[in-house]
Amino acid sequence: MVDAEDLAFQRMEMIQTENPGAMTKHDIEENEDTEWAVVTIEDESGGNLSIEVIESDTSWKRSDLIDRYNELAEDVEIAVILPDEAFDEVASRLAKEGSPNIELLSYSDLGLIPRG
């Protein structure tokens, strides 16, 4: 299984390099035998700018996936970062059921290196 926390650390380093004033934190969420990371990006005053969900190679298959994204998208900008092989399937599901303001990215779009 891909290490979601390692991906979160890679992504937070990228964000802080691109925007040195941003503050980032992450949480690892788990469900049964899978885990994924949620990275929160805040401005200098602590206000949420956006949330990025980094799915692992197994977590993107959860049945409640689109519902969770839609809930998050009600309050803040959200980007979902997926394994390359999951991108097309999740994009199709999101087009049918998802909020239009959810951005989808793949690991390779951002240069993330999945490690197990």
Give per-residue pLDDT as tens, 39-65: 999 988 878 789 999 999 999 999 999
Provide the whole-model pTM: 0.94
CB contact set of 69 (below 8 Å; sequence gap of 6+): 53, 78, 80, 94, 98, 99, 102
Hey, how many other C-beta atoms are within 10 angstroms of the C-beta on 16?
Answer: 14
